[in-house]
Amino acid sequence: MASIVDQAGMDVILVGDSASNVMAGHETTLPITLDQMIYHAASVIRAVNRSLVVVDLPFGSYQGNSKGALKSAVRIMKEAEAHAVKLEGGS
């Protein structure tokens, strides 16, 4: 699917934490882990040639403190070779 979307000319592809619902059948996005997001993101990144791939940081991987958030983001960038990460929240 990522290859088809990339070839269609999409500028950005989001690998969302909704993979928890869509791929694993969970009722919410909360159960997905950082390791699972890295796996899904790496699969997408291998399939694209031009699109920017943005990857959600899953719940619990960045809320504790800024060092933990940075560590999670670095893992996604390094291990999945993501182009960017997305997180939600803030005050």
CA distance 29 to 6: 25
> Is 67 buried (19+), middle (13-18) or exposed (0-12) by CB count in 10 A?
exposed
CA distance 22 to 80: 20
Where along the chain do its domains lie?
2-86
How much is the pLDDT for 90? Answer: 67
Mean of per-residue pLDDT scores for the chain: 94
Is the pTM higher than 0.85? Answer: yes
Dmax over Cα atoms in the chain, in whole Å? 39
Q: What is the mean pLDDT of residues 21-28?
A: 92
CA distance 54 to 33: 16
Residue 91 above 70 pLDDT?
no
For 81: left if phi > 0, alpha if psi spans -120 to 50, otherwise beta; the answer is left
